[in-house]
Structure 1
Amino acid sequence: MGTLTTNLFECLYFLESPELYLLEIKRNDLNEYAAIAEKYQWLRIDKSSLEISRLSFRSMDSSKDVEERFFEEGFLKFNSTTGTFIEKYNSAQHSLENISRQEIPSKVLDSIYNMLSKNKTNP
């Protein structure tokens, strides 16, 4: 874990499929009283367009070997090497590789910076 730490955010998890990236970030630019949902965000990034959408976190479950996250948009189950993201209504299923120890591609970082900067100036 801990792919990257910047003044804006820290990447906690980084997963990849042929079509998309899924990241959990912790915002470092918010004050200590910011809502948990603002501080910790799951992002879905389309690889072809670099379009970012925030996943609406609902709940989580953790064990020694497996992590599970439930979102309004679907369900994520992953471990230290692989994972699966199943979109709502089973409209799509994505096999993922957990690449949390790898560097985030610069074009992806730029997209995240742009999104966070816009959100900061236009709440």
Structure 2
Amino acid sequence: MPSDATKSDVYKWMLIDKNDLKITPLEFLSMSAANLMEERFFRQGYLSFDSDQAVYIRESSSIQNILRIKDSDCITDSIVASIHEQLNMQRLRL
């Protein structure tokens, strides 16, 4: 990765539906941090999080999705495979 790469080139954000493993890439717009809260703004929605939990709000609705932070060891092999597939597809488009 070039030293002048943008954050959206370095970090990839995805919304994963655990029921059908559908992955929606999120288009990063901006970020901010205040106290212990982090915020990420995407074309598809808004994410705020701290070390314990997160809240995601889709751009198309005002429903707050409360998410719990889990250790990466809890991610199933099928979700990992779907993430790899999505990243490979994104890389091929470049």
* Fold agreement, TM-score > 0.5: yes
- Count of matched residue positions in the alignment of Structure 1 and Structure 2: 92
Q: What residue in structure 1 maps to residue 82 of structure 2?
A: 111
Q: Superposition pairs for residues 1-123 of structure 1, below 5 Å?
A: 31-32=1-2, 35-36=5-6, 37-99=8-70, 101-103=71-73, 104-123=75-94
Q: Cα distance 1:121–1:59, how it changes in 2: closer, same or farther (>3 A)?
A: closer
Find the aligned partners of 1:119 and 1:87 in 2 and give their Cα distance: 22
Q: Offset of 1:33 from its aligned partner?
A: 6.0
TM-score when normalising by structure 2? 0.81
Structure 1 segments unaligned to the other structure (5+ residues): 1-30
Deviates more, 1:37-46 or 1:90-99: 90-99
Q: Offset of 1:95 from its aligned partner?
A: 0.6
Q: Cα distance 1:61–1:49, how it changes in 2: closer, same or farther (>3 A)?
A: same
Q: Offset of 1:84 from its aligned partner?
A: 0.7
CA RMSD of aligned residues (A): 1.9
Q: Offset of 1:72 from its aligned partner?
A: 1.0
Q: Which amino acid aligns with 1:102?
A: S
Structure with greater strand share of residues? 1
Q: Cα distance 1:79–1:35, how it changes in 2: closer, same or farther (>3 A)?
A: same
Structure 2 segments unaligned to the other structure (5+ residues): none
TM-score when normalising by structure 1? 0.64
Q: Cα distance 1:32–1:46, how it changes in 2: closer, same or farther (>3 A)?
A: same
